[in-house]
Amino acid sequence: MIAKIFHYGSISLITEPCKSAHIATAKAAKDAGVVLSYDPNLRLPLWPSTENAREGILSIWEIADIIKISEEEISFFTKGEDRYDDAVVCKLSIQTSSCFLLLKVQMVATITPR
């Protein structure tokens, strides 16, 4: 049986050798035509610094087909911009061709880049 979706997070990007294995696995899955689903799962205390977290998490942003992102993560990746502003969220989608799933307490919104 061949996987159709590979779902991953960012915590394995913090240290080696997990980071290299994570990136190699994601690239191999992408090359095999598998849909990549990414949940950054922001956990700042685990990272050496805030900037290191931002860089590490965004380093594999562009290969994902689907990105599940929370309101807190929108604020983090846009450096504090208004997470409720559609234009702010769309800025994140410009960096990738991914479909975003924005999870809110009461609803789920899907934002697909144009």
Are the beta carbons of 14 and 21 closer than 8 angstroms? no
* Model pLDDT, residue 2: 76
The pTM score is: 0.75
* Model pLDDT, residue 34: 93
* Model pLDDT, residue 113: 53
Strands (E), 13-98: 35-39, 66-70
Give the list of residues 6+ apart from residue 74 with CB closer than 8 angstroms, or none: 81, 83, 88, 89, 92, 102
* Model pLDDT, residue 74: 83
| Domain spanning 5-111, CATH class | alpha beta
* Model pLDDT, residue 25: 93
Torsion of CA 29, 34, 39, 45, to 10 degrees: -10
What are the domain boundaries of the chain? 5-111
**10-residue averages of pLDDT along the chain (114 residues):** 86 94 93 91 94 91 84 83 73 59 49 52
* Model pLDDT, residue 24: 94
* Model pLDDT, residue 103: 52
